[in-house]
Every structure is written in C-alpha cells, then in structure tokens.
Amino acid sequence: MNEHVLSMHDLTAEDVTRILDIAGSFREVGTRVIKKVPALRGRTVVNFFLEDSTRTRISFELAAKRLSADVINFSAGGSSVAKGESLKDTALTLQAMGADAIVIRHSSSGSPLQLTRWVDAHVLNAGDGTHEHPTQALLDLYTIREKLGRLDGLRVAIVGDVLHSRVARSLSFGLVQMGADVTLVGPPTLIPPDAQAWGVQVSYDLDAVLPKLDVCYVLRVQRERQRLEYFPSIREYARLFGVTRERVGLLPEGALIMHPGPMNRGVEIDSDVADLPRSVIEEQVTNGIAIRMALLYLLLGAGERVPA
Amino acid sequence: MSARLVFAEVRVVDPAAGTDEVRDVVIADGVVAGPEAAEGAERIDARGLVLAPGLVDLHAHLREPGEEHKETVETGTRAAAAGGYTAIAAMANTHPVTDHAAIVHEVRDLARACGLCEVFPVGAITKGLEGESLAEMGEMVEAGVRMFSDDGHCVPSARLLRNALLYAKAFPAEIVLAEHAEDPTLVQGGQMHEGPHASTLGLAGRPAEAEEIVVARDLALAAATGGRLHLCHISAARSVGLIRRAKAEGVRVSAEVTPHHLTFTDADLVTYDTNRKMHPPLRSEEDREALRDGLADGTIDAVATDHAPHAVEEKEAEFDRAPPGTIGLETALAVVLTEVVATGGVPLPRALDAMSTAPARILGASDHGGPIEVGRPANLVVFDPEEDWTVEPPFASKARNSAFLGRRLTGRVRYTVLEGSLTVAEGKPTR
C-alpha cells in the first residue's frame, strides 16, 4: 500500500483486493452492539472538508471513531480558510496539531496531491473537484463484489454526467484495473474528450446498452449543467438518459442499480427504481464505513493483522 | 560607464549580416568599433564563446506599476540582462493599465534609470483592457509605442479588432497589433489543454480550436484591412498551418512562440505543477512538433518569453486558483539551445535570429538585433554554448515560478552589453 490514498491509479489490483478483504472484516464490526475496536487508539484523524459533504464526512468520522482514533472535523465555513488562509498554511497548522491522517474534500482537482508535498501526514482523498473520489470507488467495488461475487469480466455502465464526475473517474479506473468491461453512457457533451484512453467504451444510446449489463451505475446530474448548455432541459435529459421504470425492464435479471448519492429522484433515476430490491444504494452507504476503516487501518495501523 | 572592451577570438553569429565567423569584437564609446580602438581596451578571452546581437523579447510582464510584489521594472530588467536581453517589450496589463502615454513614460523612465535593459512599453488596444472601446493610440504612438496588445485577453469582437487594424494605419510608423488568440467562450473556466490528460486529471479544458478560431479570424481581418498583425505565444499545430498559408498569401502577419511551448506538453501537467499552468496551455506532442517546425521554417518569426512573474503564495495554491504563467527571461536562451538547437531542430543562426534580429524588426527596435558592424550601438550577448547548469533559485527576477525548475540546460549567458556597458559580466549582473 502507498502512503496516501489519492487516486485509483495508485492502487494495483492486489491492493484493491486486499482493501476489499480487510473491509469485509470490518463490515462485521458494524453489526456488533459495541461497534468499536481499539486499533487506532491515540492516533488523530482530521476531516478537512473544504466543500460541503454529508455522507462522506460522516462516513469517515464513523470509520475513524470505530477504530478508536481521535477525530477532528474541520470545515471551511467560519474557519481560517474563510478568513483567507491558504490551503498550505491551513494544512501546516493541522500538521502542527499532530494530525496523523488528513482526509481532504476540496473543490479543486489535484489539491490532495498538492497537500502531500506540504505535510508529513497520510492524505486520503475524499473527493477533489472533478478529478477522483477513490474511497467511493472502493466502496462501490466492494458492494459489486459482495453482490455478484466477482469484478473480473462484469459489464458495467456508468450513466450520466461523466465529464464533471469524480466518482465516474475513480470507478472507471478501478473497474478497468479489476478486469471489468466499462461503458460510459450520456449525452456527448457530458462525456470527457478522449475518455476511451481510460480503457472504456462510450455509448450515447442507453437502451442499447442496458440489456447487456451486470451493473447500471447512475450518476447525479446537476441542474445547473442545463444552464451551461450541456443539454436542452431536465425533461429531455430524463427522456434520453434517465433510468426509468420502463428502462429497468431492459436490464437482465439480477443486474444491480447503483447511485453514489445524493439522488435527484425523477431526473437521472425514477423514484420507483431507486426503491427496487435490485437497487443497492443504501448498502453502498453502509459499506462505505467499512472501506474507510480498512484504509485508515492500513495507513495508520501498527500491524498487518486485522483485529478480531 | 561605457568601457572599452575587446571580446577576443569569439565566434560571432550575426543573423542580421548572415555571418558566422571567429574574430575580435571591439566596443568603444557605446558602439561597435574598429580594430584601432582595441589598444588599451580591456581584453576578454572569449575563445569557445558565442557573441550575437543582444536578445530582444516581444513579450514580458514587468508588473510595475501596480503589482510590485510580483516584479518591478528593476528586477524584471535585471532578469532580462541576466538572460542576455538588451531590449524587451513590457505588456500593458499593469495597474493602472498602460492605455495612456503617462504610463508609457513612467515605465520607460524607470527602466532607463536602472540601465539594465531597454524597455519598450506595449500599449493597450482597448481602454482598461476591457475589450469595449479603443484606447487613445495616438498619444501613445507619439510617446514611442509601436506595439499594442490586450495580452492576457483576446480582443473579443471582430469588429473592434477590425477597427483597430484600420485605425493604426493612420500613423506614419508601422504599428503592430499583437493578439492573445483564445476565444473567451471556449476557454471559460479552462485550466489546461483539452485532451486525454485533462480528462484524466479532472481539469477543465482549453481546446486548441479556441486559438485556431481567433487566429483564422484575425488573419482574415489583417488580410481585409492591410493592417499589421502579430500573433502572441502560438501553441497549436493548426494555428501554425493557418499562419503559414496567410504568409504565402502576403498577409502582413508575424508570430511568436515561447520556450515553454517548445519544450513541454500537456503530459507535463500530471503532477498539477502550477508553474506549468499557462494561457494558452501546453498542448500535445503533435502541437509541440509543429511549433518547432514553424520556428525552423520561419512561419513563426520569434521566440518570446511571456515572462510572467507571480508571488510564491499565488502559485502555491490549488491548480484552478493559481494564476497562469512562468518566468522565462533568465532561461529562454538556454532552453532554446538545449531543446531546439541541440536536438537538431533549428540551426543556431536561425535560433538567434528568432531571439534577436526578427523580434527587433517587429518591435521597431532599430538599435537592437544587429548587424554587428562598426558604428552600430553595442547591444550584444556573449554566451558559453557548452556550460551545463540546473535551473534553480535564486533568480534575478523577484519571482521564482519557473516551469523549468530542476531542469538541466546547456548554454549560459556570460556577458550582456547594453549600449557599450556590461550589464552582465562573468555570468552575474553588474548592477
């Protein structure tokens, strides 16, 4: 394992398998009445969130607490950052206070990598701009492997605003690394130029793709993209690329529907679809805690043995 | 303090005269002198060194007035001298903007007081660089301005640029309008060249067609008006093709390329190094090759630095918040020698033409760019073509945002002579 978790590109297939296996052990901890192990007692984890986040921040906080680490939550509003302090100075301050790991969420792509040049602490990328969100990808890989038993050879479509999605990047890189067959689907304006270089396929026809899938991964579509001329209207987007009840009928039996949240029900996914048994959206959230425990444990834990 | 000097047995490469020979060069009373003036002069053994007309930069940002925390006329001209320059054009995006004669006089007077490098202030095409109405070019022309540019911004409307090209024909001196060619609607929010690397890094793209569109538009306007157009920091392969064709058709256009666009590609952005964030951006391998070819065949007339100093804290920021640009005056010659000449892409005389004679002609800097003849002003550079060095602070510039930090280069300035005086001796600025 590397010193930091910045990009899925930094992880080998062996690294990913190991992280998922360790997360499996930690998954059990969350089912206990006392949901805590002493693995990281005395270590300090800072949640350094400079962009709004609910589920990722809470998930990291719970993960660190279940490992008995001390957790500090730092968000931009009302902080030194709001007073104009630079990212570097703020990071150096966190370091001076003894942070062993810094979990960073930032609207600027590349900021977690920049952070590693300024601090000695382990850096975990909790989402940087439109670049990557590796812990989301790992929890998605975990969920898929748990439900379908494997990753290699699976056919996965990632549907929606891939251009602006850090989730889509990390998940594409991770799935390709694990041998899955990935197709990006969306309006051509929202598919990154040269995305084929990632080792994925691109399609603009959701109906043609759906019958061949093991996983349909639906991305959030932000309403402001319409204002910026990426597509004509939410109505037309939903008509062409929304995962509707009718479209779900095109999916093979047993295929999963996933979404990283937060959902826009009625836009990229119908409300009925989100609540179907084959939608594993809530399980994704639960698995996120185990994945983040595994990563914190691997980076900060003293030994290799997973505590029972 | 104009000294009497002899550079003895130096290889003189004079693009203006078309000569390349080993001889003595004598300097007395601020000008190149005949052998009779050698007696009693300080004799510098220059065997193995190259002497050429002092370098001329069409594109530097000196930041004064207004942003003296980044650079001043003094530190910027010292950096220029250290890099072998004897004349530089100072871009108009100062605060206040160089859109009236008072700032032109101020910047030039500051430079004269420093005595490190002659500065030719560039006037703004539009008032306040706002792209809305023409600046009062007439009073700036009277103050000696020959080049106008809204650099940093594209002149947004074809109508406005058309009128500027036409209007500039009123003046007896040749007035050059220099364009920063990037369509603003296509580069809005863009951080790097649009392509596979931008897609993977999650950085919004500045596509090559943003430049090509404006180059094509401006060439059409120059052809129609007969105005004199200069295209700044060309970065895309198709732009080079458009310029090549326009020149063949007789359009009055010149173009420049930066050392960094000749060296790097978008693949060099994978570490989110803010010193390599540029407008226009570093592009693909194919684009870089086309720029080298364009420089070799003269489609691109000049190498210009786009020296863009920024404070450390401004560049030590998130990639999308850091300002674009790299410093370049102190590294340009060595970069061209290492990346373009040593690789066999461009012969040394053509490279020196692109760094002195051609830009001097475009700028109307008649005392610069050679020929190195008796009686001509002694504005010269002497460099060691073999010296290896690593780019690292300290710099003569106030800034240290160099895209070349840590890079090994071959070729280093030993002496710079401005109007007969040494501004650099033994590789160090003299003042």
As a whole number of angstroms, the distance between CA B167 and CA A188 comes to 44
What is the three-class DSSP state of A8?
Answer: helix
B202 and A197 within 8 Å at the Cβ level: the answer is no
Pairing of strands B50-53, B380-390: antiparallel
Query: In terms of CA atoms, which chain A residue is nearest residue B197?
Result: A194
The domains found in chain B, sorted by start residue, are: 5-50+376-429 (2.30.40.10), 54-363 (3.20.20.140)
**A–B: how many Cβ contacts below 8 A?**
63
Cα dist from A69 to A72, A103, A138, whole Å: 10, 13, 22
**Model-level pTM?**
0.95
Q: What is the pLDDT along chain A (308 residues), one digit of tens a residue?
A: 689 999 999 999 999 999 999 999 999 888 888 888 999 999 999 999 998 888 999 999 999 999 999 999 988 776 677 778 899 999 999 999 899 999 999 999 999 999 999 999 999 999 999 999 999 999 999 999 999 999 999 999 999 999 999 999 999 999 999 999 999 999 999 999 999 999 999 999 999 999 999 999 999 998 777 777 899 999 999 999 999 999 999 999 999 999 999 999 999 999 999 999 999 999 999 999 999 999 999 999 855 454 44
Tokens matching residue B301: 């007339």
Radius of gyration of chain B (CA): 20
H-helix or E-strand spanning residue B290: helix B285-296
The tokens for A274 are: 């989100």
How many residues are there in chain A?
Answer: 308
- Give the residue numbers in B contacting A (CB under 8 Å), as ranges: 191, 194-196, 198-205, 271-272, 313, 316-321
Residue of A87, A114, A130 with shortest CB distance to B202: A130
CB-nearest to B318 from A87, A132, A166 is A87
From B196, B205, B271, residue closest to A197, measured CB to CB:
B196
Coil vs helix vs strand at B379: coil
Residue B387: φ, ψ to 5°: -70, 130
Tokens 């892409």 appear where? B345
Tell me the CA distances in angstroms from B385 to B46, B48, B55, B71, B410, one per residue in order.
Answer: 12, 8, 15, 29, 7
Would the CA dihedral through A39, A41, A42, A48 be positive or negative?
positive
Report pLDDT digits (tens) over B78-100.
999 999 999 999 999 999 999 99
The tokens for A179 are: 């041998």
Question: How far apart, in Å, are the Cα atoms of B33 and each of A47, A187, A196, B7, B30?
Answer: 71, 71, 64, 12, 9
ipTM of predicted assembly, 2 dp: 0.94
Residue in B with minimal Cα distance to A162? B199
Identify all chain A residues contacting B318, using CB atoms and an 8 Å cutoff: 87, 106, 108, 110-111, 114
Look-up: residue for tokens 């193995």? B48
Å between A130 CA and nearest CA of chain B: 5
- Using DSSP, state whether B419 is helix, strand or coil: coil
Report CB contact under 8 Å: B201, A108: no
Residue B51 pairs in a beta bridge with B12, B382
Of B249, B230, B217, nearest to B175 by C-alpha is B230
> Sheet of B85-90: strands edge to edge?
B55-60, B85-90, B118-121
Please count the helices (runs of H) and the strands (runs of E) in chain B: 14, 19
Which residues of B are known catalytic residues?
306
Amino acid letter for position B259: P
Of B202, B204, B313, Cβ closest to residue A86? B313
Interface probe with B: pick from A50, A90, A111, A132, most Cβ of B within 10 Å: A111
Name the token pair of B192.
Answer: 């790097």
- Kindly give, in sequence order, each residue whose CB lies less than 8 Å from that of residue A270, ignoring residues fewer than 6 positions away: A242, A243, A244, A245
pLDDT at A227: 72
* Distance in Å from the first CA to the final CA of chain A: 21
Check B199 against A88: CB less than 8 A apart: no
Q: Which residues of A touch B198 (CB under 8 A)?
A: 192-193
| Residue B122: half-sphere exposure toward Cβ, Cα within 13 Å | 33
Residues sharing a CB contact under 8 Å with residue A51, sequence separation 6 or more, in sequence order: A76, A105, A106, A107, A127
- With an 8 Å Cβ cutoff, are B204 and A106 in contact? no
Nearest chain B alpha carbon to A196:
B196
| Residues of chain B positioned with their CB less than 8 A from the CB of A189 | none
Contacts of A190 (CB under 8 A, 6+ apart): A160, A161, A162, A163, A164, A225, A230, A231
User: Cβ separation of B272 and A87 shorter than 8 Å?
Assistant: no
> Are B272 and A110 in contact (CB < 8 Å)?
yes
* B385: number of Cβ within 10 Å: 18
CA B327 → CA A292, B267, B332, distances in Å? 42, 20, 9
| Alpha helices by DSSP H, A9-120 | 13-29, 55-66, 87-96, 111-116
Which of A110, A114, A192 is nearest residue B199 as measured by Cβ atoms? Answer: A192
Q: Are residues B201 and A110, on separate chains, in Cβ contact within 8 Å?
A: yes
In angstroms, the Cα distances linking A87 to A80, B242, B271 are 10, 43, 17
DSSP A220-258: P--THHHHTTSSS-HHHHHHHH-B-HHHHTTSPTT-EEE
Q: Bridge-partner residues for B55, per DSSP?
A: B85
Distance (Å) from the alpha carbon of A139 to chain B's nearest alpha carbon? 21
Question: Distance between CA atoms of A66 and A3, rounded to whole angstroms?
Answer: 21
* Least CB–CB distance from A194: residue in B195, B202, B317: B195
Alpha carbon distance, N-terminus to C-terminus of chain B: 12
> What is the nearest CA distance from B237 to chain A, expressed in angstroms?
18
Chain A residues whose CB is inside 8 A of the B313 CB are 86
Give the best residue of A88, A114, A190, A229 to mutate against chain B (max B CB count within 10 A): A114
Chain A residue numbers with beta carbons less than 8 Å from the beta carbon of B321 are 108
Are B194 and A193 in contact (CB < 8 Å)? yes
| Whole-number Å distance between alpha carbons of B237 and B235 | 7
In a 3-state reduction of DSSP, which class is residue B362? helix
d(CA B96, CA B104): 11
| B271 contacts A113? CB cut-off 8 A | yes
- Cβ of B200 within 8 Å of Cβ of A109? The answer is no
Q: Are the beta carbons of B318 and A110 separated by less than 8 Å?
A: yes
Q: Output DSSP code: residue B83.
A: T
What is the distance in angstroms between the Cα of A26 and the nearest Cα belonging to chain B? 31
Cα distance from B183 to chain A (closest Cα, Å)?
Answer: 17
**pLDDT beneath 70, residues of chain B:** 1-2
Q: A193 and B203: CB-CB below 8 Å?
A: no
Amino acid A304: pLDDT: 47
Closest-CA residue in chain B for A112? B318
A71: tokens are 């957790």
Classify burial at A133, counting beta carbons within 10 Å of its beta carbon; exposed 0-12, middle 13-18, buried 19 or more: buried
A128, B317: Cβ pair inside 8 Å? Answer: no
